[in-house]
Amino acid sequence: MPRLALDCHKQVDEIHAWKERIGAAALVVCIVWVAANFAFSEQRDFHASRGPVAGVHQMWETQCNACHTPFAPIRSHSWQALFLGDVQASSQKCQTCHEGTTHHAGQHPELSCASCHREHRGRDASLVRLTDRDCTQCHNDLAGHHAKKPAFELTVSRFSAQGHPEFRSIKNDPGKLKFNHELHLRAGMAPGTGGGALMTLGKIPEPLRKRYRDQQSTKHDDAPVQLQCASCHQLDAGDLGLPGTRSAGAYMLPIAYENHCQACHPLTIERKGPDGLLTIPHRLEPNLIHDLMFNHFTAQAVRGQPGLLDRKVDRVLPGKLTNALDTTLREVIDKNVEHAEKDLYLSNRLCAECHYFDGKPVPQAVQAGKRPELQTAPTKVPPVWLQHAKFNHTAHRAMECAACHEAASRSKTHTDVLIPGRDNCVQCHGPTTSAGTPGARFACTQCHQYHNGDHAAQGIGAARRNPRAGHAIDAWIQAK
């Protein structure tokens, strides 16, 4: 058996020699690297970076202090937050450019920006397309992350029929505007059993006819009007008339009487006489319509009374009225106005065809010689239905309207909610399965915005999306 010398631990073999040489060389390289960095480079923090920042922040890649506070953690989940500075210090730097509101007014706790928005993942990485776990860390148990008991679903784990609640924004229709989709999608809007004339292209006023003729294959004047979904529902894509604004076509433009209704539903009242055709401007309240019709029928009556304008009247003090019309003539005018108002508010062809009214019942509200005690009920048609999420119609342009709004062709009343619910969406948005789910994106951030979550459809940060104050260009570039 070989014996070891008693002083073997003092002897240096070749392996130990190389270890010492490599260690010394590494130390020298580190010292030279750091020294050269401080001596010759103005980008001293760059060599300590964890990786490239996103393209939107590329200008500040070499200026770590633009986002970081020395020796302060940036993530709320960091263990360093127990020993080092306030994690909100870096969030305050983020908010000098990105001032956004909280998610919900009663949320708890307040996370730092970097807890969800992770940098240094490469030029093409998105700071806003987050993983579901960033959302479900709170939404799996909202009762424990809210200052008071929330009035919404307490557990949301993922977008699926089992893990996501139904869309509460579409539980009912708050609108007060009568409309029959099924009728308007029939050729010629035929009223069905009981007769009634078809609406043909020739009955549409000439200035408006071309628009409807171009939408259908049969184009002669006797052809029934065939409306499509796009006849009324038009994307907000394109220049909206405001300087520097262009929409992406995510939502639909509001329905406007002048653009979508008046071709088939003119607000005209026909009465005998040379000026018997009276057109009522849309959006006038009943009291203003009363004044308009009184003036119209008064002018009509005066033209039928030779010498009425030359009749002498008693001089009156300023502000005092005199009756320049005969009582019998005034009664005729008042009666004409009353008949016209009843036509407007009681018949099924003018205002009452679409609108509800507040105030007295129409028969009691309309009386000869008096202004009607009526107000048009606010229509309250939601401009955006999914108030707590975002939706992009342009992204779904390859689909037929009926794929999501299949009940529209059968709907006969405005109280029918025709917006698709969760079960319709999960047919496409979910993991690819053998059952045929195509695997469209289904991450939380695909539909939901975090900031201003109470009113997500108002936009990123809503009214507070702009910075508190502007920056001079030099200060902005230097992140001061």
- Over the chain, what HEC string results? CCCCCCCHHHCCCHHHHHHHHHHHHHHHHHHHHHHHHHHHCCCCCHHHCCCCCCHHHHHHCCCHHHCCCCCCCCCCCCHHHHCCCCCHHHHHHHCCCCCCCCCCCCECCCCCHHHCCCCCCCCCCCCCCCCHHHHHHHHCCHHHHECCCCCCCCCCCCCCCCCCCCCHHHCCCCCCECCCHHHHCCHHHCCCCCCCCCCEHHHCCHHHHHHHHCCCCCCCCCCECCCCHHHHCCECCEECCCCCCEECCCCECCCCHHHHCCCCCCCEEECCCCCCEEECCCCCCHHHHHHHHHHHHHHHHHHCCCCHHHCCCCCCCCCCCCCCCCHHHHHHHHHHHHHHHHHHHHCCCCHHHCECEEECCHHHHCCCCCCCCEEECCCCCCCCCCCCCCCCCHHHCCCCHHHHCHHHHHCCCCCCCCCCCHHHHCCCECCCCCCCCCCECCCHHHCCCCCCHHHHHHCCCHHHCCCCCCCCHHHHHCCC
Of residues 353, 403, 382, 346, the one with CA closest to residue 189: 353
Least trusted range by pLDDT, from 38-52, 191-205, 332-346: 38-52
Q: Is the pLDDT of residue 319 over 60?
A: no
Percent of the chain with pLDDT over 70: 75
Q: What is the spatial distance between Cα 248 and Cα 392, in angstroms, rounded to a whole number?
A: 8
The mean per-residue pLDDT over the stretch 88-106 comes to 78
Residue 224 phi, psi (nearest 5): -65, 145
Percent of the chain with pLDDT over 90: 31
pLDDT of residue 403: 93
Q: Is the pLDDT of residue 431 over 60?
A: yes
Q: Across all residues in the chain, what is the average pLDDT?
A: 81
pLDDT of residue 228: 92
Q: What is the pLDDT of residues 142-157, one digit of tens each?
A: 777 666 666 677 889 8
Q: Are 251 and 384 in contact (CB under 8 A)?
A: yes
Residue 43 pLDDT class (50, 70, 90 cuts): low
pLDDT of residue 466: 47
pLDDT of residue 479: 54
Q: What is the pLDDT of residues 204-257, one digit of tens each?
A: 999 899 999 999 999 999 999 999 999 999 888 765 545 555 567 888 888 999
Residue 480 pLDDT class (50, 70, 90 cuts): low
Least trusted range by pLDDT, from 49-53, 198-202, 204-208: 49-53
For residue 444, the tally of other CB atoms under 10 A from its CB is: 21
User: Residue holding tokens 């009582």?
Assistant: 327
Residue 460 pLDDT class (50, 70, 90 cuts): very low
Residue 443 pLDDT class (50, 70, 90 cuts): very high
The mean per-residue pLDDT over the stretch 418-433 comes to 89
Supply the angle between the helices 327-346 and 286-303 in degrees, to the nearest 10: 140
Q: Is the pLDDT of residue 46 over 60?
A: no
Of residues 126, 122, 123, 98, the one with CA closest to residue 112: 98
pLDDT of residue 201: 94
Q: Is the pLDDT of residue 468 over 80?
A: no
Q: What is the pLDDT of residues 255-272, one digit of tens each?
A: 999 999 999 999 988 765
Residues 6+ apart with CB under 8 A from 20: none
Q: Which residue has the higher pLDDT, 470 or 36?
A: 36
Q: Which residue has the higher pLDDT, 203 or 78?
A: 203
pTM given for the model: 0.74
Q: What is the spatial distance between Cα 326 and Cα 203, in angstroms, rounded to a whole number?
A: 41
The mean per-residue pLDDT over the stretch 71-93 comes to 73
The mean per-residue pLDDT over the stretch 198-206 comes to 92
Q: What is the spatial distance between Cα 173 and Cα 419, in angstroms, rounded to a whole number?
A: 10
CA–centroid distance for 464 within its chain: 16
pLDDT of residue 330: 82
pLDDT of residue 273: 53
- DSSP codes, 421-434: -HHHHTTTBS---T
Q: Is the pLDDT of residue 160 over 80?
A: yes
At 393, list the tokens: 């119609």
Alpha-carbon dihedral angle through residues 240, 241, 243, 249, given to the nearest 10 degrees: 10
Q: Is the pLDDT of residue 62 over 60?
A: yes
At 417, list the tokens: 């909610």
pLDDT of residue 417: 94
pLDDT of residue 124: 92
pLDDT of residue 221: 93
Least trusted range by pLDDT, from 346-350, 397-401, 458-462: 458-462
